[in-house]
Amino acid sequence: MAEHFDIAIVGGGIIGASLANHLVTVNAGRLRIALIESRATETAMSSFASGKAKSPKDFNSRVVALSAASQAQLQALEVWQEISPHACPYREMEVWDEEGTGSIHFDCADIHEPALGYIVENHVVVQALFQRLKGFANVHVLDATVTGFTSPENADTAEEGAEAPAVLNRLTLDNNHSISADLVVAADGARSQLRQWMAFDTREWDYDHTAIVTTVTTSQPHRHTAWQCFSVDGPVAFLPLHDEFHCSIVWSLKTSVAEQKLLLDDEAFCRSLTQALQARLGPVVATNTRMSFPLRQRHSKRYVKDGLVLLGDAAHTVHPLAGQGANLGLYDVDALAKEIARACSRQLAVNDASVLHRFERQRMPHNLMAMATLEGFKQLFGTDNLALRWMRNTGMSFLNRQPLIKNQLAKIASGKFI
């Protein structure tokens, strides 16, 4: 007989692990929660650089830019003190157009915040979240891969004449076990198997862009500033890390161009990168191994089906140009956790359709709006059209002289107006 849980969360990335942390204290800690992660042991054992870094290899190349709202959420979960020594606050942001005169500058002082956001390695956040879970007996971390899912909707119909069995959400694991749960949360990332097994309709398209991600050493300090330059091939971002001569880079390029850059030796790659950022931080002097991610925008038309909820990248993936992917997922987590807490306080089941639909109604418009805005930016900055290029250069410089609008934009990016 399968072990039963109130809530099973599939995927222990930032999103799944954050949700587990939110839920452990809900209903006075009486919810039984399973967090199933293929790489749970690896996550718990990962180590990371502290103090002064000597080389780009001291950092893991996959980072997230956490907004002030996401940082506040992690602080409320009491994990920020673990993350903070490894996070770099960025206080300013410089955005400009490679070909023109347009530029815009944001400063946290203008919106009376200590930072515009924080850059931190993905695994630092995940490990801190896993660490905290150890203190709670009602959460069970299962180091396993989910290989199958049966829900009341996709279960085989009972034999004719026989009484229909009560079918639960059942997850099959690769260790020959299975578990059942009232509510299953799919936080299994952009290529979510659960989303596919449950045949959620999605709207998706290729950007024909690939992101090259790595860590580099620069010859000048980053000055706690996020640097982003737009070119026709795509944007390059230098995101400051907690050592002042190291940045994480996200270079989104047309796929054919990215393939060429990936073939360069380290020295030629550093030269090319220096050029792409117009040497704002002097020459790039060293690089870590390069990783590449094909970029695809995807949005599931529903987030909820029969006791199953899609969360984070399983529900939506966006272009990394504005560093909003994990933030949107964390806002989803906050909304779902509040709905589940509300359901418990009203003696409603955690999989009650009204509870899940309230979550979907709150999050879908916000996610769609964010995706449309990012797509607009991507189109505007990826264009060869002379008129549009003139407009964006003039527009950026105009915006830079409008403190009220600019500060509103900075507040939106920091998650202050969710």
The answer to whether the CB of 21 falls within 8 A of the CB of 79 is yes
CB of 252 to ligand FAD, least distance (A): 8
Dist. CA 357–CA 215, nearest whole Å: 41
Regarding 334 and contact with ligand FAD (CB under 6 A), the answer is no
Specify the stretch interacting with ligand FAD by CB under 6 A; choose among 102-110, 272-280, 312-320, 342-350: 312-320
Regarding 11 and contact with ligand FAD (CB under 6 A), the answer is yes
By CB under 6 A, the residues from 344 to 373 that bind ligand FAD are none
CB of 144 to ligand FAD, least distance (A): 7
Regarding 332 and contact with ligand FAD (CB under 6 A), the answer is no
CB of 352 to ligand FAD, least distance (A): 24
Report which of 174, 164, 250 is spatially closest to residue 214, judged by C-alpha positions.
250
The answer to whether the CB of 246 falls within 8 A of the CB of 59 is yes
Specify the stretch interacting with ligand FAD by CB under 6 A; choose among 184-192, 260-268, 277-285, 406-414: 184-192
Q: Which of 20/53 has CB closer to ligand FAD?
A: 20
5's tokens: 């849980």
Dist. CA 163–CA 27, nearest whole Å: 34
CB of 87 to ligand FAD, least distance (A): 12
Regarding 38 and contact with ligand FAD (CB under 6 A), the answer is yes
CB of 249 to ligand FAD, least distance (A): 10
Q: Which of 61/217 has CB closer to ligand FAD?
A: 61
Regarding 323 and contact with ligand FAD (CB under 6 A), the answer is yes
Q: Which of 333/356 has CB closer to ligand FAD?
A: 333
CB of 388 to ligand FAD, least distance (A): 26
The answer to whether the CB of 252 falls within 8 A of the CB of 211 is yes
Dist. CA 322–CA 210, nearest whole Å: 15
By CB under 6 A, the residues from 207 to 266 that bind ligand FAD are 211, 213, 250
By CB under 6 A, the residues from 262 to 291 that bind ligand FAD are none
Q: Which of 104/249 has CB closer to ligand FAD?
A: 249
Beta bridge partners of 328: none
CB of 159 to ligand FAD, least distance (A): 30
263's tokens: 């073939």
The answer to whether the CB of 221 falls within 8 A of the CB of 346 is no
By CB under 6 A, the residues from 52 to 111 that bind ligand FAD are 64-65
Single residue of 240, 320, 382, 415 touching ligand FAD by CB under 6 A: 320
Specify the stretch interacting with ligand FAD by CB under 6 A; choose among 45-53, 279-287, 322-330, 402-410: 322-330
Angle in degrees, CA 57, 414, 37, rounded to 5:
50
CB of 303 to ligand FAD, least distance (A): 13
209's tokens: 């862009």
What residue type is assigned to position 277 of the chain? L
Dist. CA 214–CA 159, nearest whole Å: 56
Regarding 326 and contact with ligand FAD (CB under 6 A), the answer is yes
Q: Which of 344/371 has CB closer to ligand FAD?
A: 371
CA distances (Å), origin 173, targets 138, 188, 336: 20, 14, 25
Q: Which of 115/250 has CB closer to ligand FAD?
A: 250
Regarding 39 and contact with ligand FAD (CB under 6 A), the answer is yes
348's tokens: 């409603």
CA distances (Å), origin 353, targets 139, 350, 357: 24, 9, 6
Collapsing DSSP to helix, strand or coil, 88 comes out as strand
Instruction: Encode 245-266: b = buried (16+ Cβ within 10 Å), e = exposed.
Output: bbbbbbbbbbeebbeebeeeeb
Regarding 312 and contact with ligand FAD (CB under 6 A), the answer is yes
CB of 291 to ligand FAD, least distance (A): 8
Dist. CA 337–CA 357, nearest whole Å: 13
Dist. CA 271–CA 2, nearest whole Å: 57
Collapsing DSSP to helix, strand or coil, 369 comes out as helix
177's tokens: 């076990």
Regarding 14 and contact with ligand FAD (CB under 6 A), the answer is yes
Dist. CA 91–CA 82, nearest whole Å: 21
Write out the residues near ligand FAD by the rule CB under 6 A.
10-16, 36-39, 64-65, 122, 145-146, 187-189, 193, 211, 213, 250, 293, 312-313, 320, 323-327, 329
